[in-house]
Structure 1
């Protein structure tokens, strides 16, 4: 059995929300530094919460699915928010149809509850409640976006996941609705050329 599995079994025997010093966790033949490293890994997994220096508590497991379609996707600049306490489950698409448009500067896309396209994105499992709350804050919930459960499809089948959807916004008349948001320079240049050609 691997060290992290032994550690997790020990921790699962602890009561929930009781603060424990790191030094109370011992595994024969494993150094304190290694145990500390694995405790931090279990914190990222959402098994424990490090509450202060050298102390942790076991917490209730937290697992929510999040469908992302913009700058939170892998390889995009805000994916850093999903690097810890998440598991990327792969590509996904919405089962229902939505309209997706870019903000006026092309920095990010947003979904509108209008049945036009099935949207392509990615599915993540969020493993810490406070991370989902942090993403809510980042997305401007509830004023800018609403977090709603929608049906999404992956290679494993259909499930419900949260997605961020704009409400009370005017649909841009000068934009073609997107199926997938790319935000790369070649794509932007192509869109600009297409726009300029229409003006001639």
Structure 2
């Protein structure tokens, strides 16, 4: 949309947190329908907040980085949470070493501060505070996970990003630490079959 920069510049001249009609952002040559689409895009980018039908307000930009290593990654079960209000910046790894292990059923991984190895995942830029709040709820913060800032490295360089970690959980003694979580279902099914075979033979 070639007019988006003009509309964004016009929005920058508006007072902060003052609710105004969509028409306040209109520029010459932009139809009402195109203006609406652009404003919804700017809402998703965290530049404005649409308060009700046909009205918005300029807000303080929200930009936080989030490092994910489990089911929030692209192609995994819960990635849909990040499809809106977030931008994928690519693969990344932790700068410091952590321990990454699976829960007892292999459904998801978790990080502990025990230094085993650098952990690989993905880096996202979160554009709206309500998305971060939603992910906090999904991760069970602060009861289950703690959200902390750590350093991660990607093709953007070294950045400080939030990560969800179980700070007070000891590393399990019956698992090897994981470098990257792949949720390999075929491997888990084979392990289950092998365990059942051993039980039947005992």
TM-score by length of 2: 0.91
1:92-131 pair list within 5 angstroms: 92-131=92-131
Whole-angstrom distance in 1 between the partners of 2:49 and 2:152:
30
Aligned to 1:147: 147
Aligned to 1:30: 30
Distance apart, 1:120 and its partner CA: 0.3
Judge conservation of contact 2:112–2:170 (CA < 8 Å) in 1: no
- 1:108-130 deviation digits (Å, cap 9, x = unpaired): 11000100011000001111112
Whole-angstrom distance in 2 between the partners of 1:7 and 1:188:
52
Alpha carbons of structure 1 residues 67 and 12: separation in structure 2 relative to 1, 3 Å:
same
1:44-123 pair list within 5 angstroms: 44-123=44-123
Aligned to 2:16: 16
TM-score by length of 1: 0.92
Whole-angstrom distance in 1 between the partners of 2:190 and 2:5:
51
1:162 paired with 2:162, answer yes
Distance apart, 1:174 and its partner CA: 2.0
Distance apart, 1:169 and its partner CA: 2.4
Q: In terms of mean alpha carbon deviation, does 188-197 or 146-155 score higher? A: 188-197
Distance apart, 1:34 and its partner CA: 0.9
Whole-angstrom distance in 2 between the partners of 1:195 and 1:20:
64
Distance apart, 1:194 and its partner CA: 7.7
Give ranges in structure 1 of 5+ residues lacking alignment. none
Whole-angstrom distance in 1 between the partners of 2:68 and 2:45:
20
Judge conservation of contact 2:86–2:127 (CA < 8 Å) in 1: yes
Whole-angstrom distance in 2 between the partners of 1:170 and 1:162:
21
Distance apart, 1:83 and its partner CA: 0.8
Whole-angstrom distance in 1 between the partners of 2:55 and 2:141:
32
Give ranges in structure 2 of 5+ residues lacking alignment. none
Whole-angstrom distance in 1 between the partners of 2:23 and 2:13:
16
Whole-angstrom distance in 1 between the partners of 2:142 and 2:32:
44
Whole-angstrom distance in 2 between the partners of 1:160 and 1:193:
42
Whole-angstrom distance in 1 between the partners of 2:131 and 2:61:
13
